[in-house]
């Protein structure tokens, strides 16, 4: 497929070449780069990492070609006249400092969720984008998934009638409850902006309110830390030696209960399981209406990267038979974005 006459010229901040699930630049390399390289709608023109040398190493590693510029600061990539849009794909604490120069330079911006580490930072970036009349995206990629599209279609059809309630029973899963990768300690800090609540639950909450509407004024929640210390492990080391122990302030249990603006009741419960769990699913989401009920079950893992294996959607209308919905998916959503 040949490129379009005027593809969008993209600069990427945070394209790394490290190994491991939490390596710097992993998300940009796996989630963004393959599509940008294959799509006729975009062309990569610049990379910016912590140094020019690091950026050039990424350009060489991914064979992006001699025409892609290497930068070592957000100001420099923002000033490049051959960059129309900047993708910010780094840990949350750096989102504000890396995104603001691009907006000030009048560039379109794609920023991974969450937009910033604090509400005030997010509000400032949003106001700046509006003042500049810029197109922007926050990466809540589950909205584009086949699952969410199907759920939206079912709800819009009115086949469930008036939504009465919605309950969610889920687990924080994927890693042992008392271990975490060395170098990613920020995820254990409630003040980092990037932790189990803002990321793991945050992606699901975006889908929840996108489909069912916002919560009203009646809401209560409990955050708790049942496992206050966590061992830091180098998971690339077969011996899994402990590299240190840190205090944890980010919640490992989150329970919320409230009423949506629609009037429907809602409860969301996430727990951390220290032993093999009885519940095989990572998440069970039930939506109950006056005319039927919808149930979503996923395998353990993060909502925005669910696997087709282990994903089930069941629908029952009135007194009819339970229908298993075919989403037409294969593999993992992470692989096909």
Integer CA distances (angstroms), 243 to 93, 178, 234, in order: 23, 13, 7
Q: What is the pLDDT of residue 209?
A: 96
Domains of the chain: 8-139 (3.40.50.720), 143-336 (3.30.360.10)
Q: What is the pLDDT of residue 275?
A: 72
200-231 per-position pLDDT tens digit: 999 999 999 999 999 999 899 999 999 999 99
244-261 per-position pLDDT tens digit: 999 999 999 999 999 999
Task: With beta carbons less than 8 A apart as the criterion, state whether 109 and 103 touch.
Answer: yes
Query: Average pLDDT for residues 264-283, to the nearest whole number?
Result: 87
Q: What is the CA radius of gyration of the chain?
A: 21
Ramachandran region of residue 291, left (φ > 0), alpha (ψ -120 to 50) or beta?
A: alpha
Q: What is the pLDDT of residue 334?
A: 45
CA distance 197 to 74: 28
Query: Average pLDDT for residues 42-60, to the nearest whole number?
Result: 97
Band (pLDDT 50/70/90 cuts) for residue 302 is confident
148-195 per-position pLDDT tens digit: 999 999 999 999 999 999 999 999 977 788 999 888 899 999 999 999
Q: What is the pLDDT of residue 308?
A: 75
Long-range contacts of 304-310 (CB under 8 A, 24+ apart): 304/140, 304/141, 304/142, 304/145, 304/203, 304/333, 305/332, 305/333, 305/334, 306/145, 306/147, 306/332, 306/333, 307/331, 307/332, 307/333, 308/332, 308/333, 310/281, 310/282
pLDDT at 336 over 80: no
| Torsion, Cα of 283, 289, 294, 297 (10° steps) | 10
CA distance 153 to 159: 10
Task: With beta carbons less than 8 A apart as the criterion, state whether 216 and 261 touch.
Answer: yes
Percent share of the chain, pLDDT over 70: 93
Integer CA distances (angstroms), 123 to 200, 246, 271, in order: 22, 31, 30
Q: What is the pLDDT of residue 70?
A: 98
Q: What is the pLDDT of residue 27?
A: 84
pLDDT at 307 over 80: no
Band (pLDDT 50/70/90 cuts) for residue 335 is very low
Of the listed ranges 86-90, 172-176, 271-275, the one predicted with least confidence: 172-176
Of the listed ranges 58-72, 178-192, 297-311, the one predicted with least confidence: 297-311
CA distance 40 to 30: 18
Q: What is the pLDDT of residue 218?
A: 87
Band (pLDDT 50/70/90 cuts) for residue 20 is low
Q: What predicted TM-score, i.e. pTM, was given to this entire model?
A: 0.89
């Amino acid at each position: 497929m040949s490129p379009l006459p005027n593809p969008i010229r993209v600069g990427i901040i945070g394209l790394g070449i490290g190994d491991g699930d939490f390596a710097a630049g992993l998300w940009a390399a796996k989630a963004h780069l393959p599509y940008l390289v294959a799509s006729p709608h975009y062309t990569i023109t610049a990379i910016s990492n912590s140094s020019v040398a690091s950026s050039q190493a990424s350009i060489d590693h991914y064979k992006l070609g001699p025409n892609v510029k290497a930068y070592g600061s957000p100001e420099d990539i923002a000033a490049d006249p051959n960059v129309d849009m900047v993708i910010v794909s780094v840990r949350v604490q750096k989102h504000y400092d890396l995104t603001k120069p691009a907006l000030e330079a009048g560039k379109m911006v794609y920023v991974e969720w969450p937009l910033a580490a604090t509400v005030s930072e997010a509000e400032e970036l949003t106001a700046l984008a509006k003042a500049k009349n810029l197109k922007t995206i926050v990466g809540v990629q589950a909205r584009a998934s086949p699952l969410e599209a199907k759920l939206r279609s079912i709800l819009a059809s009115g086949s469930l009638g008036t939504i009465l309630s919605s309950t969610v029973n889920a687990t924080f899963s994927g890693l042992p409850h008392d271990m975490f990768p060395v170098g990613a300690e920020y995820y254990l800090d409630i003040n980092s902006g990037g932790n189990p609540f803002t990321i793991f639950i945050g992606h699901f909450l975006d889908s929840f309110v996108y489909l069912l509407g916002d919560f009203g004024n009646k809401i209560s929640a409990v955050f708790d830390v049942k496992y206050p210390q966590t061992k830091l492990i180098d998971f690339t080391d077969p011996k899994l030696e402990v590299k240190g122990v840190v205090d944890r302030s980010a919640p490992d249990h989150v329970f919320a209960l409230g009423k949506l603006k629609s009037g429907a009741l809602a409860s969301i419960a996430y727990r951390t399981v220290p032993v093999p769990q009885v519940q095989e699913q990572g998440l069970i989401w039930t939506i109950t209406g006056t005319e039927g009920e919808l149930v979503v079950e996923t395998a353990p893992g993060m909502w925005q990267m669910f696997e087709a294996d282990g994903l089930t959607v069941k629908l029952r209308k009135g007194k009819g038979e339970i229908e298993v919905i075919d989403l037409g998916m294969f593999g993992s959503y992470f692989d096909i974005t």
